[in-house]
Amino acid sequence: MATVLPRTAVPGAIAQVELDIQSASRKQRRLEADAAAVRLPVVLIDSLLGELEVLNLAEIVRVPVSLQPSLRWLREHCPVNCPELSVCVSPVQLMDLLFELQESLFALKGGEFRRRLQLADEARFGGRDF
C-alpha cells in the first residue's frame, strides 16, 4: 500500500530539488570557468618550459629578453597569484618559478578533490617529495 504524502510536502520537496539543481548548475559553471581560465596560461607555461630547457641544455646563463612579453602576459592574465617573473634570472630559476605557478593553476583546475589528495599525500609522507 502506497503512503500518501501531505499536499504541502510535495511542493516543498519539489522546490528543494529545484534549488539543489540550480546550486549544482552554478557550481558546474564555476568549475568550467576556472578550467577555461587556467587552460591558456598552462599551455603558455608548457611552451616556456620547453624553451627554457633548451636554453639550459645550451648552458645559456640568462633568460633572453624575447621571453619578456610572454612573462608579462602571464602576470596580467593568470587567475592565481603570480610570482615576479623576470628575464633577469637563469633559465633554471625561471623554470622553478613557472613550475610553482603551474602547480597553483593545477590546484585551481583540480579544485577540492585535488586539494584533498594533496593533503592525504602530505599526511602519508610527512611532507617529503617522492
Q: Quick check: 49 pLDDT over 70? A: yes
What pLDDT is recorded for position 2? Answer: 59
Band (pLDDT 50/70/90 cuts) for residue 66 is very high
Per-residue DSSP letter, 128 = -
Q: What is the DSSP string of 34-70?
A: HHHHHHHHHHHHHHHHHHHHHHHHTT--S--GGGHHH
Residue with C-alpha cell 504541502?
Answer: 8
Band (pLDDT 50/70/90 cuts) for residue 42 is very high
Dump pLDDT digits (tens) for 74-99.
Answer: 999 998 889 999 999 999 999 999 99
Q: What is the pTM of this model?
A: 0.64
Per-residue DSSP letter, 89 = S
What pLDDT is recorded for position 121? Answer: 76
Q: What is the DSSP string of 14-36?
A: HHHHHHHHHHHHHHHHHHHHHHH
Q: Quick check: 118 pLDDT over 60? A: yes
Find the distance separating the first CA and the last CA of the chain, reported in whole Å.
60
